[in-house]
Structure 1
């Protein structure tokens, strides 16, 4: 499968996604189709000295050199019993392309973000590596946090306070931000970095539905202009994704003037137009925190 084969690209803002289901050991996992560029047979791997234990090495795919991450090692599963039957899921996230080795790929499922539950009650011990869990065809499918997998291997690709210091301090304490982000780690990083830039009046929500309900409450109480100047949203979140959240805000005659920035690892060339269609005022790819802050400055100056 390649990105050109994605004839099932969804209409923007429908709060749906399509998940490719795959197996590792006895576990069943999923990845958002929008992160997948193609699925290929394993290619010869060149070993890299002093690499991370979860990295097999690198491959050459046409004109690109890609890192291969072995998800069995990442998740603590036994090695594949049949390596020749494995697949490589070539993904694009955080402006990087990475090939993830899995043991079997089954099919694509279309689901709603409302079907995805937060992984707080999982008993498999993989809570820190998952973004959600959904029941499909009588089985529980764990949606892996591929961004965390990559950041654990390459922490320098993440968000760091040091990146913000070059901007210098400016007085922004009277500006109030709302952020919809389901990752607790990223919420902490965003608070630290935005506070360093002077934006320390932040209200966080861990899914888009909760953020929308808060905005509607403020609207009904005639407090919207006093309590929020701008909203930042991730794309992948349980209950309601960022595209649908943006569409709901921009379709509301009282909320539509609120600036909305999409801040996500999925801001690829293929997906940028979706954010435009739902009315986002700006889109920034993680982890470009300096660009995010500069865009906030422009929108609420």
Structure 2
């Protein structure tokens, strides 16, 4: 099953996404279609000695060698023995391709980001494993945090403050930055790395809607203009309530906001999807976890 990315949500910034629903054990989960390159029948896997317990091994898919991550191991599912219906979801994120083993794939749903809720603190670990919860057709679908799964296996694929320290001593900046990022872990890492780079006046929001509400609040203020209080916006793409494409479009269509530079910082900056950020008016697009590249773009814009 190959997916035509060009035909998916061609109208960028609609605050919608398409979710592939799949099963792992008895659980029902989802993945953003934009992360998926194809879905194939599970095949024989070559074992990798001394690898992480969540890595099943490697496969050769046409001309590419891909690492296989077993989501049954990641999610602690008891093996049922019969894996004849298993599928590999071939995903591209953080500029790399990974095959994820799942028990089966059902269908694709098109929904609004407004329908996605954040896991509550009472969900006993759910927050660390998922990015959102969808209630649809009488069932609960968990959107897995695939980026965190990959970083847990290979921490070098994450954001690291040591990368910034290699830039050397930097001047402190008084520029004010707004960041929309739904991951609490990434908000903490961005706070540390941006502060190390000299950008200490950073205001964080959990999604695009909260960031836009803040800009609109400043818009009505009699004390300062929006541009005095915000010199740059950094946004993730996948966020409950309002995604980064829709946020960027709303900023660039507003006469009071449109001169504020917007950087999209996401694991979904691929060759196929880059045009979506261009369409909504993003000034720059940087792939996670390239934090040094992000800082270089901030330096150029403000």
TM-score, normalised to structure 2, is: 0.96
Structure 2 unmatched ranges of 5 or more: none
* C-alpha displacement of 1:125: 4.0
Alignment-derived partner of residue 268 in structure 2: 266
Are the aligned partners of 1:10 and 1:16 in contact in 2 as well (CA < 8 Å)? no
Alpha-carbon distance in 2 for matches of 1:9, 1:205: 25
How many angstroms apart in 1 are the aligned matches of 2:186 and 2:238? 13
- Residues 148-163 of structure 1 correspond to what in structure 2 (within 5 A)? 148-163=148-163
Query: Residue 272 of structure 2 aligns to a residue in which SS?
Result: helix
Q: Supply the distance in 1 between the matched residues of 2:66 and 2:188 (Cα, whole angstroms).
A: 30
Aligned with 1:270: secondary structure?
coil
Aligned length: 300
Give the one of 282, 294, 297 matched to 2:296.
294
User: Partners in 2 of 1:187 and 1:293 — Cα distance?
Assistant: 15
Alpha-carbon contact 1:36-1:92 (below 8 Å) kept: yes
Could you give the per-residue CA deviations for residues 41-91 of structure 1, whole angstroms, max 9, x where no partner exists? 112111001100011000011111100000011011112442111000000
CA distance in 2, matches of 1:90, 1:156: 21
Unmatched 5+ stretches in structure 1: none
Distance in structure 2 (CA, Å) of the matches to 1:242 and 1:165? 28
Taking the aligned partners of 1:13 and 1:153, their CA distance within structure 2 comes to 32
The residue matched to 1:22 in structure 2 has which SS? strand
1:15 Cα deviation after fit: 0.1
C-alpha separation between the residues in 1 aligned to 2:84 and 2:122? 31
1:83-94 correspondence to structure 2 within 5 Å:
83-94=83-94
Asked if 1:234 is matched to 2:230, the reply is no
What are the residue-to-residue correspondences of 1:125-164 with 2, within 5 Å?
A: 125-164=125-164
Q: Which residue of 2 aligns with 1:56?
A: 56
For 1:14 and 1:205, the matched residues in 2 are separated by 20
Aligned to 1:273, the other structure's residue is in SS state: helix
Structure 2 match to 1:179: 179
Q: TM-score, normalised by structure 1?
A: 0.97
RMSD between aligned residues: 1.3
Which segment is superposed worse, 274-283 or 119-128? Answer: 119-128
User: What SS does the corresponding residue of 1:84 show, helix, strand or coil?
Assistant: coil
Per-residue deviation, 1:121: 5.0
Cα distance in 2, alignment partners of residues 291 and 210 from structure 1? 26
Q: Match of 2:28?
A: 28
C-alpha displacement at 1:123, in angstroms? Answer: 3.6
Q: Which residue of 2 aligns with 1:245?
A: 247
Tell me, in whole angstroms, the C-alpha distance in 2 between the residues paired with 1:282 and 1:123.
36
Measure, in 2, the Cα distance between the counterparts of 1:81 and 1:23. 15
**Preserved CA contact (<8 Å) 2:68 2:101:** yes
Q: Which residue of 2 aligns with 1:104?
A: 104
Provide the C-alpha distance between the structure 1 equivalents of 2:242 and 2:172, rounded to a whole number of angstroms.
29
SS at match of 2:39: strand
Change (3 A) 1:80 1:87: farther
Question: Secondary structure of 1:83's match?
Answer: coil
Contact 2:22 2:29 (8 Å CA) reproduced? yes
Q: Which residue, 201, 223, 226 being the options, matches 2:225?
A: 223
Is the 1:262–1:280 contact (alpha carbons within 8 Å) kept by the matching residues of 2?
yes
Give, in angstroms, the shift of residue 136 of structure 1: 1.3
State the partner residue of 2:44.
44
TM-fit CA distance, 1:8 = 3.6
| Counterpart in the other structure of 1:210 | 210
Pair 1:255-2:257 in alignment:
yes
The alpha-carbon deviation at position 157 of structure 1 amounts to 0.8
User: CA separation of 1:87/1:181 partners in 2, compared to 1, >3 Å: closer, same or farther?
Assistant: same
